[in-house]
Amino acid sequence: LAKTTQPISMDSYEGQEVNITCSHNNIATNDYITWYQQFPSQGPRFIIQGYKTKVTNEVASLFIPADRKSSTLSLPRVSLSDTAVYYCLVGDVDTGGFKTIFGAGTRLFVKA
Amino acid sequence: DTEVTQTPKHLVMGMTNKKSLKCEQHMGHRAMYWYKQKAKKPPELMFVYSYEKLSINESVPSRFSPECPNSSLLNLHLHALQPEDSALYLCASSQEGQSSYNSPLHFGNGTRLTVT
């Protein structure tokens, strides 16, 4: 099962770009990389998913190098409301991707 | 609001009680999940149902008993719990297996369980 490693916490200021990098050295060929955001007392919320190169949506970008052993979530111009825990996940191809295990996550604090 | 609805939002139960947590989704998803989350920790996978059949049980104690009556509903029956079982219980659904098939998880906001 691919394990992910992220920084425990990060601080930023409003208006800055934040980049959170996740390491997943033993990612399987079929695995997608998925990022979730979680606020206190709420369930995690899907942010973005990718397989390789770059993916962008209305809230974030995901950069994945050719070897796919890491990925970087980029949040442009963060605001106070982006303070949350961010989780990077990769699946378990042996169980068809069902065994979705969360790593420790990165606590992002956005200051005014 | 989320597309996965969990009830109740809060539950307090004694160690001898029997209670059930309920989860419902109407997105046509065929995989449903239970996770347990303690304070300041990541969600821990408990059970996975695929096409209404239990496909993964992460060695969860038998005092937790899952049930999937149909493709839209998922229950978690609780009996003889311990105080350390107090946590946020999260339900999720996905079209297929989460990461391998480009099918992200959709979570409810959980049931906050306190065992006294």
Q: What secondary structure, in 3-state letters, does B69-114 show?
A: EECCEEEEEEECCCHHHCEEEEEEEECCCCCCCCCCCEECCCEEEE
Residue A30 has pLDDT above 90, yes or no: no
Contact A56, A77 (CB under 8 A): no
Distance from CA of A87 to the nearest CA of B (A): 8
Q: Which residues of B touch A89 (CB under 8 A)?
A: 98-99
Note whether A91 contacts B: Cβ–Cβ < 8 A. Answer: yes
Cβ neighbors of B18 (< 8 A, separation 6 or more) are: B77, B78, B79
pLDDT digits (tens, 9 = 90+) for B13-52: 999 999 999 999 999 999 999 999 999 999 999 999 999 9
Determine the residue of chain B that is closest to A105 in CA distance: B42
Residue A22 has pLDDT above 90, yes or no: yes
Q: How many CA atoms lie within 13 A of A49 on its CB side?
A: 16
Note whether A32 contacts B: Cβ–Cβ < 8 A. Answer: yes
Distance CA(A85)–CA(A44), nearest Å, equals 9
pLDDT at A94: 60
Distance CA(A12)–CA(B13), nearest Å, equals 41
Does A97 sit within 8 Å of B98, measured CB to CB?
A: yes
Distance from CA of A2 to the nearest CA of B (A): 11
| One-letter amino acid for residue B98 of the chain | Q
Residue A29 has pLDDT above 50, yes or no: yes
Residue B1 has pLDDT above 60, yes or no: no
Answer with the residue of higher pLDDT: A110 or A89: A110
Q: What secondary structure, in 3-state letters, does A26-59 show?
A: CCCCCCCEEEEEECCCCCCEEEEEECCEEEECCC
Determine the residue of chain B that is closest to A41 in CA distance: B109
Of B43, B97, B112, the CB nearest to A98: B97
pLDDT at B93: 94
Does A97 sit within 8 Å of B100, measured CB to CB?
A: yes
Note whether A6 contacts B: Cβ–Cβ < 8 A. Answer: no
Instruction: Enumerate the β-bridge partners of residue A50.
Output: A33
pLDDT level of residue A32 (50, 70, 90 thresholds): confident
pLDDT at B99: 45
